[in-house]
Homo-oligomer: A and B are copies of this chain.
Amino acid sequence: MIIEDVQPAVDGGRFPAKRVVGEEVVVEADVFTDGHDLLGAEVLYRAEGEDQWSARPMALFDNDRWRGAFTVTTVGRYAFTVRGWVDHFATWRRGLEKKAAAGQDVAVDLLAGRALLEAAAGRARAADAGILADAAAALGSDAPLPERVARALDPELAALASGHPDRAGEATHGRELPVVVDRERARFSAWYEIFPRSTGPDGRHGTFRDLEALLPEIAGMGFDVLYLPPIHPIGRTHRKGPNNAPQAGPGDHGSPWAIGAEEGGHKAVHPDLGTLDDFRRLVRRADAHGLDVALDIAFQASPDHPYVKEHPSWFERRPDGTVQYAENPPKKYEDIYPFDFESEDWRALWEELKDVFVFWMRQGVRAFRVDNPHTKPFAFWEWLIGEVKREDPHVLFLSEAFTRPKVMYRLAKLGFTQSYTYFAWRNRRPEIEAYFEELTRTPVREFFRPNLWPNTPDILTEHLQEGGLPAFRARLVLAATLGASYGIYGPAFELGERRPRHAGSEEYLDSEKYQLRRWDRAAPHSLRSLIARVNQARREHPALQTDRGLHFHGGQNPELVCYSKATAGHADVVLVVVNLDPRRPQSGWVDLDEAELGLEPGQPFEVHDLLGGARYPWRGRANYVRLDPAQAPAHVFEVRRSPY
């Protein structure tokens, strides 16, 4: 018995596939054997800690490929495998049916069937055993042959006999395949990044209390994760000034990523933001608004970090005895010391870094955005995420890694819940289609959950710089509808901030990374209401809450990208058309794959724009669209199949 190519399996089962609570795990496998016998197969599965396997039936659907499914109901890890066996009774029954139809003498065959049924009766319990034994006796009785054949071919008998197969010849796939099950927010989330220090009134340093005041507004826009850049004391040695100036002035606040000062390191809060109590209060208040607070974890130290004195062995030395600062030649980051993860004292370092996570989890944090994980050892992350999830499997990890694709994918396999992507730099239709086909149609989708960011404090793309507010609008709709998870670097995005530090740079002028900013959140050009509408559409439409079910439709105008998302059985279908050109109105006929929308060819349907409210009666493959970026760059349509 061969049972192979069992899916979902990430790297043959070395890493878990990812699901959230309540989802189905659809399992497929090739199950076959030599010869022509009929087979049976089932999925075996159990949650971590359960002794017994549960079983779900599988059915043959194509060319020796079988399919079954089970539902995951608890956060944590599951394992599954596939079992197959020869269904001797079904095989015998198929032969009998053909022989009887050909008018052959089947008296001896019936005796073989009797033996099979007797054996099945021996394996069955009370009621079933009796029915099977009765049938066995009937097959071997003196009754006329046609009567016995009819009894033998009874479909109910077939089902009963197949339900008690001979386990002697069964085989189980050699590997138990892991599944990691997260809370629902792992799959569906809208992130809002904000610098707390810029939330103060009148230009003073903002505090956790100031941020608290913004919670209703942020939650009101429909976000569910509030992500804060590092909140720790900031180093003074080699502190950078505004616009990354090599020397900070006396009143400059420095970069939150230059972590650590006299006041403490990764487990301390910057005094100007408030106290640890204030932070805990913020987390509680945010939770009351349905918001997770996500902290940024940047494992590096300023020269003033207490670790530098207390654990000099955790840092590499240059040949002249000084501590090795971060560099990306010819760039130098003298305000930042990387940790030496391979130092003699690595065990203590790793434990301490784990303790950083645990510390913040104790303050109520259950989501972390990890800065530059690709510059730390893979083995460290696999160990750390495993340890943390043992403490609390509800914790989410977002991997910030705009690095080579195989490195990004590896980090996701190692345990990161969600990952940054190349979305910010995919602006043309073929780029968008190819990238999202890769993310949602290939095995990548089993382990890599994209989180789409049109901007971040590090990334102000040329497209946004040049396209202005119309580009921001279009990129918002793309991020929020292509991805079940997305995020924005908040105030800067809402207000269309797009001044680069210099021409050709992706850095912001007067970046919040190096200074406080005041944002006029009430400015009339704010995208706040559009963001709220988009997030509302996401909350109301399950199709937008998963990355499965994405399909790109055709159309001749290359500036118009058209795609749909649908839940199983097309219960919910959303159709999106975006004008990728921020400068000019674009129009044309989209070419719809009707089956992907749950439509029969030529069936009339109505599209209802969830952003603008308009409704259009559509029909067939070709439908006309015109989108003016000055007004609305996109349609996000609910597809209604029966007019109301």
Contact = CB atoms under 8 A, between A and B. Distances in A.
A320 B64 CA distance: 34
A34 B108 contact: no
A32 interface: yes
Interface residues of A, number: 42
Interface string A341-370: 000000000000000000000000000000
Contacts of A330: 98-99, 101-102, 104
A176 interface: no
Interface string A372-414: 0011111000000000000000000000000011110010000
A63 B406 contact: yes
Chain B CB count within 10 A is highest, among A34, A101, A111, A405, for A34
A30 B378 contact: no
Contacts of A12: 12
A174 B106 CA distance: 56
B34 A112 contact: no
A94 B34 contact: no
Given A99-B329, A330-B99, A112 B319 contact: yes
A98 B329 contact: yes
A329 B328 CA distance: 73
Contact of A320 (B98, B111, B378): B111
Contacts of A64: 404, 406-407
Given A63-B404, A64-B404, A410-B2, A108 B35 contact: no
Nearest to A318: B108
Contact of A11 (B4, B63, B318): B4
B329 A95 contact: yes
A427 interface: no
A96 B34 CA distance: 62
Contact of A405 (B63, B99, B407): B63
Could you say which of A35, A108, A377 has the most chain B C-beta atoms within 10 Å of its C-beta?
A35
A63 B408 CA distance: 12
A327 interface: yes
A105 to B, nearest CB: 11
Given A108-B318, A378-B2, A34 B407 contact: yes
Contact of A32 (B94, B377, B404): B404
A73 interface: no
Nearest to A379: B34
B404 A111 contact: no
Contacts of A32: 404, 406-407, 410
A101 B331 CA distance: 12
Contacts of A94: 329
Contacts of A96: 329
A32 B378 CA distance: 11
A115 interface: yes
A98 to B, nearest CB: 4
B375 A318 contact: no
Given A99-B329, A112-B318, 17 more contacts: A4-B11, A32-B404, A32-B406, A32-B410, A33-B378, A34-B375, A34-B377, A36-B328, A36-B375, A64-B407, A94-B329, A95-B327, A96-B329, A101-B330, A102-B329, A102-B330, A114-B319
28 contacts: A2-B406, A2-B410, A4-B11, A12-B12, A30-B406, A32-B410, A34-B374, A34-B376, A34-B378, A34-B407, A35-B374, A36-B328, A36-B375, A63-B404, A63-B405, A64-B407, A94-B329, A95-B327, A95-B329, A96-B329, A99-B329, A99-B330, A102-B329, A102-B330, A108-B319, A108-B320, A111-B319, A115-B319
